Amino acid sequence: MSPAATIPAAEAETRALEAADDLFYARGIGSVTMGEIRDRSGLSLRRLYATHPSKADLVAAWLRHRHETWMAGFRADLRVALDAGAAPVDAVFDALASWMEATGWRGCGFINTHALGHDLTDEHRRIIRDHKAALADELDALTPKGRALAVVVDGAIVQASIFGNRHPIDLARTAGHALVTSAGNEEAEQ
Amino acid sequence: MSPAATIPAAEAETRALEAADDLFYARGIGSVTMGEIRDRSGLSLRRLYATHPSKADLVAAWLRHRHETWMAGFRADLRVALDAGAAPVDAVFDALASWMEATGWRGCGFINTHALGHDLTDEHRRIIRDHKAALADELDALTPKGRALAVVVDGAIVQASIFGNRHPIDLARTAGHALVTSAGNEEAEQ
DNA sequence: GTTTGGTGAGAACAGTCATTCTCACGGAGC
DNA sequence: GCTCCGTGAGAATGACTGTTCTCACCAAAC
């Protein structure tokens, strides 16, 4: 049914994004060359540039793609924990912990990309901001003080990445519980 | 008293580190060239390399230098807030807020550098880890649940950088208060 | 005054990389 | 079968950058 000659356009797109996801996330954008994207995707450079006119475009497409897949994965992990009877806050940190289990885990791709600073485009920054806003929305729908919880979550991700262990997740869980437990009486302290 | 010919060694070191601090922090390591460090420091390339044999060495020296200056600045801001009568948790977030006021604020240099991933050396990673551990120690000496507070603080820094405003500081402050307030009764919820 | 050692200024080198171009191929339409 | 378009493979281009080298200079030692 597909009139394609060698590789259908849809599969070329998929391959490019998956190669980008593997490499950009694992090693950081700056140390991945287009040649490596070519090798891993199996596409020719020509085809790669036909789909994404520049590395910056590929990065933007990757960020959009990763937003979709990460949010879907996170929601799925969240649902598993909730269905198992976990309280909302625990479900959030259980989901984080299981994400961290993945081999090659290296923190949040969006945070890491944002840290590049100078050679990002406004579009990159916008996608990153939207991703973090979407996660905060998600948590806010799940628990009281969800936006503050999102801050705690990002702290846990960053520290877990720097220290190379899961202890920050436990610390963050404590903070999350405190936050939700105190939800009704924020006026208590002067 | 100094037998130096043109620029004393101590001043050369200072100039190199200050130039590195300005440029690496503001723009990210990857997009700063040694030529720009030379221009801003006023040192010759030859002198620069005599002091720091490679860019990676300069980066390590910069991280060590920034650790000292940042911690000193943070402690000073903390003391100001405490002396003004702020509660410990508030003092922490007041200090963060005043740090963020600085023009060109761009998040935490250590977190941003760590995000580079692949082209860091083990030494770089060690310095970054030590810095975050030192901050956690500091907070832990200041408040109960100080290590969890450190996680919250990092979340606030990251989100403030991504969203470009100070709102995450306020959210984090809420989390910090909840944490400290609930310090005695963590067994309350099942 | 001459030698000497370190210096500044900047050229030179070597490697890397994003991006484009060449060229021969293979299938689709006629 | 011939033409033609899009493709793959990979060479070529052009720019950039970390690092080293050249060379003339200047201050201090003798």
Q: At what angle do helices A34-41 and A55-83 cross, to 10 degrees?
A: 60
Q: Please report, rounded to a whole number, the percentage of residues in chain A having pLDDT higher than 90.
A: 85
Nearest nt by C1' to A6 Cα: D7
Provide, as residue numbers in chain B, all residues whose Cβ is less than 8 Å from the Cβ of A26: 117-118
How high is the pLDDT of residue B188?
43
pLDDT, tens digit (0-9, with 9 covering 90-100), for B80-131: 999 999 999 999 999 999 999 999 999 999 999 999 988 899 999 999 999 9
The number of C-alpha atoms within 13 Å of A125 and in the hemisphere containing its C-beta is 13
Q: What's chain A's average pLDDT?
A: 91
Q: What is the average pLDDT across B19-31?
A: 96
Residue A47 near residue A85 (C-beta atoms within 8 A): no
User: Å from B45 to nearest chain A CA?
Assistant: 23
Contact A47, A7 (CB under 8 A): yes
Residue B56 banded pLDDT, cuts 50, 70, 90: very high
Structure letter (DSSP) for residue A53? S
Q: Under an 8 A CB cutoff, do B151 and A145 touch?
A: no
Rounded Cα distance, A86 and A93, in Å: 10
Alpha helices in chain A (DSSP H): 9-27, 34-41, 45-51, 55-83, 88-101, 109-114, 122-142, 146-163, 167-181
> Token pair for residue A46?
């020509």
Taking the C1' atom of every nucleotide in all shown strands and the CA of B56, the nearest one is D18
B115: which DSSP letter?
Answer: T
Output the pLDDT for position B76.
97
CA triplet B137, B138, B144: central angle to 5 degrees? 80
Q: Which two tokens mark B109?
A: 């240099």
Cβ–Cβ of A147/B118 closer than 8 Å? no
The closest CB to that of A158, out of B158, B168, B186, belongs to B158
Measuring CA to CA, which residue among A74, A93, A82, A79 is closest to residue A155?
A93
Tell me the C-alpha distance between B123 and B36, whole Å. Answer: 24
Is the Cβ atom of B6 within 7 Å of strand C at any atom?
yes
> Region B141-168: what's the mean pLDDT?
97
Residues B174, A149: Cα–Cα separation, whole Å: 10
Report the pLDDT value the prediction gives residue B184, as an integer from 0 to 100: 59
For residues A11-15, average pLDDT? 86
- Residue B72 beta carbon within 7 A of nucleic strand C: no
- Predicted confidence band of residue B1 (pLDDT cuts 50, 70, 90): very low
The pair of structure tokens assigned to B175 is 């989390």
Q: Which residue is closest to A147 within chain B, CA to CA?
A: B171
Burial group, residue B132, by CB count within 10 angstroms (0-12, 13-18, 19+): buried
pLDDT at A169 over 80: yes
Chain D footprint bases within 7 A of protein beta carbons: 6-11, 16-22, 26-29
CA A20 from centroid of its chain's CA atoms: 14
For residue B36 the two structure tokens come to: 């720009």
The reply to whether residue B159 touches residue A150, judged by beta carbons under 8 angstroms, is yes
Give yes or no for residue B3 having a pLDDT over 50.
no
Q: A162–B119: do the CB atoms touch at under 8 Å?
A: no
CA distances, A135 to each of A75, A104, A141, B70, B119 (Å): 10, 22, 10, 30, 29
| Angstroms from B115 CA to nearest CA on chain A | 5
Interface contacts (A, B; CB < 8 Å): 172
Question: Nearest CA to CA, how far is A131 from chain B (Å)?
Answer: 10
CA dist A92 and A176 (Å) reads: 9
CA–C1' nearest nucleotide, residue A32: C17
> φ and ψ at A66, to 5 degrees?
-65, -35
Helix-, strand-, coil-residue percentages of chain B, each rounded to 5: 75, 0, 25
Residue A2 — very low, low, confident or very high, per pLDDT cuts 50/70/90?
Answer: very low
Q: What is the pLDDT of residue A12?
A: 80
Q: Which residue has the higher pLDDT, B7 or B134?
A: B134
Residues B158, A27: C-beta atoms closer than 8 Å: no
A64 token code pair: 């959009």
What is the DSSP code (8-state) at residue A120? -
For an interface test with A, give the residue of B140, B152, B153 to mutate (most A CBs within 10 A): B152
Tokens read off for A26: 């694992």
Residue A74 has pLDDT above 90, yes or no: yes
Tell me the mean pLDDT in the region A112-129.
95
Identify the residue whose tokens are 């040192």.
B43
Task: Give the global pTM.
Answer: 0.92
**Residue B185: pLDDT band by 50, 70, 90 thresholds?**
low
Rounded to whole angstroms, the Cα distance separating B157 from A128 reads 15
